Amino acid sequence: MSIYMSIKNIIFDFGGVIVDIDRDAAVRQFKAAGIADIETYIDPYRQKGIFKDFEDGSVSREQFYEKLALIAGVPVDPEEIDRGWLDFLKKPVSQKKLDYISELRKNRKTMLLSNTNPIIMEWANSPQFSPSGKPLESYFDIMFLSYKMRCMKPDSRIYSQLVAAANINPEETLFIDDSRANIEAGAACGFRTLLFENDSDFFKIENLL
The CATH homologous superfamily to which domain 9-19+94-207 belongs is: HAD superfamily/HAD-like (3.40.50.1000)
Tens-place pLDDT, residues 21-38: 999 999 999 999 999 999
CATH 1.10.150.240 corresponds to the domain 23-86? yes
Average pLDDT, the chain: 93
At residue 43, the pLDDT reads: 82
Beta bridge partners of residue 19, listed in sequence order: 15
Tens-place pLDDT, residues 112-165: 999 999 999 999 999 999 999 999 999 999 999 999 999 999 999 999 999 999
Q: 13 an active-site residue?
A: yes
Of the residues 13, 20, 87, 178, only one is catalytic, namely 13
Nearest to 116, CA basis, from 91, 147, 88: 147
pTM score of the predicted model: 0.94
Domain boundary assignment for the chain:
9-19+94-207, 23-86
